[in-house]
Chain A
Amino acid sequence: MTPFKHSQTRLLMVLSGLLTVATVVSPQRAQGETVQPPQIAMINEAIEQGWVDYEISPAKEADDASWCRRVYLDVIGRIPNLEELQEFTSDRSNDRREKLVDRLLHDDRYTEAYANHWATVWTNLLIGRGGGMDRRDLTNRDGMMKYLRDSFATNKPYDRMVYELVTAEGATKPGAPGFNGAVNFLVGKVNEEKAVLAASSVSRIFLGQQVQCTQCHNHPFNDWKQQKFWEFNSFFRQTRALRRYVDGTRDIGYAELVSEDYAGEANDPSDALVFYEMRNGLTRVAYPVFTDGTEISRSGYVDDVNRRRELGRLMLDSKELDQMAANRYWSMFLGYGFTKPIDDMGPHNNATHPELLDKLATEFRGASYNIKDLITWITLSRPYSLASVLGSNNQVDDPSIGETPKFSRFYLRQMAAEQLYQSLVAASGGTSKGTYEEQEQKRREWLRQFVVTFGTDEGDEATTFDGSIPQALMLFNGELTQRATSIGAGSFLERLSKSGNSTTERLTQLYLAGLARRPTKREVKLAADLYRARGGNELEMLQDMWWAILNSNEFIMQH
């Protein structure tokens, strides 16, 4: 018997030649006969056991409006607008939370926002916040985004996506002949330094193995040896990024990622080996061998063996792939993963909830890597539903001071820059104007101001969108805030000022729109003082309050 029998009908759809499963809510569900996927109980039991073991009790449940704001931010990358918040809070059925998650994941009106949000998250992961921002860069950020948007819009299974990213061939730029946006992940990582960056990125992002140190020496605390690094690296040595110039100029039009016959460093394509140098100056030899010891053909001829495809195939069979995905998605929603950092996994770095991590990974594979299923399990789980309050019964559960997370409350965290941007746009009363390309251009310019680099050849970067002064200045005075707090004709504030029956009611709407709660008595009193200071101009008072709301910790935090 399938657990979905009473609540859902299954539709089989064939999309882009791939078999995917879509779910549709049946009428019974609205009557409160929800049968939750068993994975949710599995998560709850494991997390609750942890509370028992540590003798702590969890925070109370978050109220509906807070939870609604939280799930909008995490699933589609922005806060709900007033109408959306009201739609949810006015629903009194028992399964309103299930319905909201289902709506955000499966309703057509959110497909674009969902796809855009996750494409942004993954673009930052795969090519960094600075990737494709420089004109000389081979990486095409638009191409990366397009591939990912299409993938998330069609809910491409995770394993399929990983395979495509690792094995892609083709052109980087949308519209170029042979365009394949997936190539943008590796196109900037294969030509320099013997493709060291390609190897370390693939192993870190998809397998949770940090190997960048092992190119030069054995890893100090995991079992990666220098030999293993160069064996893994060998999978990328047939791969080249070729520049394609604009006709008659020396400007790079786009780049193309290709697989070419590889002769190896001893110039014998039938035995294409690489050399590496050990610390003591001795030279050793490596061939492509996967992390679990599986060897593939040593031939460098693409017709004999396409090394990246072999790697992709081996990765899909590895347990590390599932574990990394489960750990990553968990951390994206709960703020902390089961390991810290999330992408450094293995026996040297104990997980906080090893059994849960294992089970979640296995279930994800069992669900054919349906990302929306994984998101459903996590967002409907009990730890995700808790209030963000540090209470007296769970004081030890504070990972921000270095304690291991026990998930007995929802951890406060700052929104990502991209979430804040989309939320400010939503908070200014709707979608921004212009085509997708124009909007994306604007967004990218805005985001670029926060990227700082470290001057290494590994492209290390950091963001000043970290709660420090530049961020505060931007929110105080930046153009986006000015637009959001505009009181011109047709603006959010102007429209709000014409609605409702009283100033108090309008102030309440303002608080709901920004913070998903009503103003406190003190805040109402403060607004009244401001109202007087503005000489009775209510619109200007609302403008001042809206500015204060948008700049507050409560607005910029996911809570």
Chain B
Amino acid sequence: MTSTWKTPSGMSRRHFMNHLAGSTAAVSAAMTMGGAIQANAEEMRKNRKSAIMLWMGGGPPTVDMWDLKPGAPTGGPFRPISTSGNAQICEHLPMVAKQMHNLSVVRSMSTREADHNRGRYYMHTGFVPNPNIEHPSYGSVISHELIDQRPELEIPPFVTIGGASAGPGFLGMAWSPFAVTSSGRIRNLDMKLDDARLRQRMAALQEIESGFAARTKGLPAGEHGKVLKKTFDLMTSSQMEAFRVEKEDEKTKERYGTNGFGQGCLLARRLVEAGVPFVEVDLGGWDLHNNVHQTLSTTKLPQLDKAMSALVEDLEQRGLLQDTAIIWMGEFGRTPRINQNAGRDHWARSWSCVVGGAGIKGGLAVGETSSDGTAVESEPFSSEDLMATVCEGLGIGLDTIFMSKNRRPMKIANGGKVIRELVA
């Protein structure tokens, strides 16, 4: 190969980096870790709030779990048991029962979306789906609001474990969920290239990126650059250690349950400890149109019982629960009526969610439903209300207003009202 380009002598690597520093934002990871910021980190950590959402994909039958109707024709076979809080819950959740002083059940959830996609969207965003706008989801909103509390964070601020969660909407791709499996293993993390060359490649990439974004003036082209920056940070960060859930001792793994959801909850605790402001852990398979009670008592509830109770207990023991909100919910509840296949169908009119941690009071049962569970008989609460309550618990101002891409102002949590019983 004959080159027509000269190699001038005296062009050192240092010179090269100086040359590039002005043209690129992508090499900034190491540079933002200034001494002043480091000194403040300890102080920041003290006030650091987080949230963990336990998402029950498919729509959990809350009438069999948190708001039992023993004796009613709709009641099903399960018995209620007493708990460490005021609420009685299902006999198949005995370990969670011991943690109920930390958690509260909202029994008067009343929503309108009983289709999976619409329900998932609504419960994750506080908005009903609208073809002209994509609203940001819980994880995007909360991580966006809490990110300033952790300037040292180099790993994604919104992680979803074992599922897909919901997107960042108009907040942009930089706030999208980082999806991992419960093993915490992440593909394609290693470039096998020395650091200097990686940074030089990033600089070349940055040049092409910014040129294209400037020429097209479109939003999508510019968003990509932010994602590249986050990816680069993550690849070069020692904080990635938090994903290595396999490093936990066997006893702890066993306590959470050696299944996907159990290990996912354990991974969530590790991530929150490392400073990630929002983690979602997904447990699917609640779409129980058939054989609901058998499936609940043999598989779903034992799995949930172990993992959820372990998470709350562990967070409390580590002093993290007072700063970590727990949100348990699905896209809707299930019909009080038991159908011809011994299942329950989609039902949004009267159902339950469970919350606790951070500034949210535990031990309560808020609201009530009728004797057969088909109607809410106290003040009904919506997705927006629950979201507002969680935000309040996390100290996020409810006067926060986002501007959508088409310049429409949007109130955080869609202007929902705080459930007063749950916050001091």
Contact = CB atoms under 8 A, between A and B. Distances in A.
A548 B231 contact: no
A401 interface: yes
Given A468-B176, A469-B230, A503 B3 contact: yes
Interface stretch (A236-244, A321-329, A524-532): A524-532
Given A453-B164, A553-B220, 10 more contacts: A390-B216, A402-B404, A412-B220, A452-B179, A454-B120, A456-B59, A469-B227, A526-B23, A533-B13, A549-B208
Nearest 8 interchain pairs by C-beta: A455-B284, A455-B57, A401-B405, A536-B7, A548-B204, A402-B132, A553-B224, A472-B231
Contacts of B120: 454
B1 interface: yes
Contact of A462 (B58, B164, B205, B231): B164
Interface stretch (A88-96, A431-439, A473-481): A473-481
A483 to B, nearest CB: 13
Contact of A212 (B23, B115, B213): B115
B33 interface: no
Contacts of A553: 208-209, 212-213, 220-221, 224-225
Contacts of B220: 400, 412-414, 467, 553, 557
A538 B211 contact: no
B31 interface: no
A305 to B, nearest CB: 27
A404 B50 CA distance: 38
B208 A469 contact: no
A469 B5 contact: no
B115 A213 contact: yes
Interface string B1-32: 10111011001010010011001000000000
Interface in B224-238: 224-225, 227-228, 230-231, 234-235
A193 B191 CA distance: 47
B188 interface: yes
A2 B241 CA distance: 70
Given A455-B282, A467-B173, A474-B187, A544 B164 contact: no
A341 interface: yes
A34 interface: no
B251 interface: no
B361 to A, nearest CB: 30
Interface string B306-344: 000000000000000000000000000000010100000
Interface string B181-214: 0000011111110001100110111011101110
Contact of B204 (A453, A462, A530): A530
A552 B228 CA distance: 9
B64 interface: no
Given A456-B58, A544-B200, A557-B220, A538 B1 contact: yes
B58 A457 contact: yes
28 contacts: A277-B339, A341-B131, A402-B405, A403-B406, A412-B220, A449-B187, A453-B284, A454-B57, A454-B120, A454-B164, A455-B58, A455-B163, A472-B228, A474-B187, A478-B188, A504-B4, A523-B207, A529-B19, A531-B3, A532-B8, A532-B16, A533-B16, A538-B3, A545-B204, A551-B205, A553-B208, A553-B224, A554-B208
Contacts of B230: 469, 472
Interface in A274-312: 277, 281
Given A340-B131, A390-B218, A464-B179, A470 B163 contact: no
B133 interface: yes
Contact of B406 (A193, A402, A458, A559): A402
A209 B221 CA distance: 33
Interface string B161-187: 001100100100100111100000011
Contacts of B186: 470, 473
B215 interface: yes
Interface stretch (B34-42, B285-293, B380-388): B285-293
A105 B23 CA distance: 43
A477 B283 contact: no
Interface of B: 1, 3-5, 7-8, 11, 13, 16, 19-20, 23, 57-59, 114-118, 120, 131-133, 156, 163-164, 167, 170, 173, 176-179, 186-192, 196-197, 200-201, 203-205, 207-209, 211-213, 215-221, 223-225, 227-228, 230-231, 234-235, 282-287, 289, 337, 339, 345-346, 404-406
Nearest to B55: A455
Interface in A501-533: 501-504, 515, 520, 522-523, 526-533
Contact of A529 (B16, B201, B406): B16
A557 B221 CA distance: 8
Nearest to A482: B192
Contact of A539 (B1, B11, B285): B1
A85 B133 CA distance: 38
B200 A533 contact: yes
B116 A456 contact: yes
Contacts of B8: 532
A457 B289 contact: yes
Contacts of A498: 1
A33 interface: no
Contacts of A411: 218
A535 interface: yes
A394 to B, nearest CB: 11
A212 B8 CA distance: 68
Interface string A321-344: 000000000000000000011000
Contacts of A523: 204, 207-208, 211
Contact of A389 (B216, B223, B285): B216
Greatest chain A CB density within 10 A among B163, B204, B234, B405 is at: B204
Contacts of B132: 340, 402
A531 B187 contact: no
Contacts of B117: 460
A518 to B, nearest CB: 12
A260 interface: no
Contacts of B173: 466-468
Contacts of A452: 163-164, 179
B218 A388 contact: yes
Nearest to B114: A216
Contacts of A191: none
A547 interface: yes
B11 A533 contact: yes
A220 to B, nearest CB: 8
A504 B6 CA distance: 12
B407 to A, nearest CB: 8
Contact of A497 (B1, B178, B223): B1
A472 B220 CA distance: 14
A552 B205 contact: yes
Contact of B208 (A277, A400, A466, A552): A552
Contact of B227 (A341, A398, A453, A467): A467
B217 A389 contact: yes
A503 B4 contact: yes
A281 B207 CA distance: 64
A39 to B, nearest CB: 28
A554 B170 CA distance: 22
Nearest to A538: B3
Given A213-B114, A401-B406, A544 B201 contact: yes
Nearest to B340: A277
A178 B7 CA distance: 68
Nearest to B207: A526
Contacts of A548: 201, 204-205, 207-208
A348 B8 CA distance: 68
A552 B217 CA distance: 16
A461 B163 CA distance: 9
A455 B330 CA distance: 11
A341 B130 CA distance: 10
Contacts of A551: 205, 228
Contacts of A515: 208
A544 B13 CA distance: 15
